[in-house]
A and B are shown apart, each in its own frame.
Chain A
Amino acid sequence: MVAARRDGIGLGLLGVYGVSFGAVAVASGLSPLQAVVLSAVGFTGGSQFAFAAVAAAGGAPAVGLASAWLLGLRNTLYAVRLTDVLPRRTLPRLLAALLVIDETTSMAVRHEENGRPAARTAFWTTGVGLFVAWNLTTVLGAYGVQALGDPAALGLDAAAPAAFLALVWPYLRIRRTAVVAGLAAVVALVLSVVAPAGVPVLAGGAVALLGLHRRWRS
């Protein structure tokens, strides 16, 4: 339980990356307030960056929506996965749903072996910590973009891949999930040469369908 809480707080600090979302969004032509709405209501970094990228390229809003939603589709599956971790009553469950993202899912799943209360603690501490940090830093980045300069020069664009690597790391220690993660990475990488943004990650996620086969059951 203590470990779950400590991990949750450490992960909450990842919200520092929100500075770079705020800055990138405004540099892409969104207003600072629009960046804040995306962070507070959308609250899923990859999709938000995808939406901003399309805006920056001058793409149609429909394309931005499509790529953001395609990337966000995994949150639906994550919420299904967390069905026993999320509260049962309707309103708390709706509130908790907002916090369902890569980080909270992987933290909750990682602590499941210590029992459901530990998984819940990990979910809520990670979720609330990240939500607060992500939104505060979005405001900072969005309104401070002129003072901040180029997010890439500060190396901030390396934070997202490093964070995803850290999240997938525990799965790489188990042969079955390591193979799935590696296959998914290759599928996504190959597809990203030809497919529109959002599709490669979803196709990589489809590798989880291997679980339909008896050999891949846990």
Chain B
Amino acid sequence: MSWAAVWLCAAGLFAQKAAGAFVPRAWVSGPRVRSVLALLPAAMLGALVLTQVAGSGDGLVLDLRLLGLAVAAVALALRAPFLLTLVLAVVATAVARLLLGT
């Protein structure tokens, strides 16, 4: 990958954040905008969970990441702390891949 593309990518990603931070306050203070913004993280994160677990950059792929996600859901339901949840998901996926030889 060319350095130009890498710098463009990195700088663009930073510029996106900065643009949001310097949007004039008046633009984002209405009740409608506020209410959309309040729902935004839930929508984005919900979309990310399933695209990350089944996405491959090329359509959908169901694999043992799904097992990791199920383990994480159980851990969260049992009120496991954040990091433990991640570790359990990773270990479950790794062990399953080892046992199944995939």
Contacts and interface: CB of A to CB of B under 8 A. Distances in A.
Interface stretch (A10-18, A117-125, A134-142): A10-18
Interface residues of B, number: 74
Contacts, number: 305
B51 A201 contact: yes
A93 interface: yes
A217 B12 contact: no
Given A10-B81, A189-B51, A200-B47, A162 B68 contact: yes
A208 B5 contact: no
Interface string B46-86: 11111111110111100011011101110010000111011
Given A93-B22, A98-B14, A177 B49 contact: no
Nearest to B19: A76
Given A78-B20, A80-B28, A158-B89, A184 B43 contact: yes
A177 B42 contact: yes
Contacts of A11: 82-83
B37 A41 contact: no
B83 A57 contact: no
A61 B1 contact: yes
Contacts of B67: 158
A29 B92 CA distance: 29
A62 to B, nearest CB: 8
B48 A201 contact: yes
Contacts of A10: 81-83
22 contacts: A61-B5, A68-B12, A68-B13, A76-B16, A79-B18, A80-B20, A102-B48, A155-B91, A155-B95, A158-B65, A162-B90, A166-B82, A171-B42, A183-B43, A192-B51, A192-B59, A193-B60, A201-B48, A204-B48, A205-B47, A207-B46, A218-B35
A-B pairs, 7 with minimum CB distance: A204-B47, A79-B20, A158-B68, A181-B46, A155-B94, A155-B93, A188-B47
Interface of B: 1-14, 16-23, 25, 28, 31-32, 35-55, 57-60, 64-65, 67-69, 71-73, 76, 81-83, 85-86, 89-95, 97-98
Given A168-B49, A208-B44, 8 more contacts: A34-B6, A77-B20, A94-B21, A162-B71, A162-B72, A164-B52, A166-B85, A203-B47
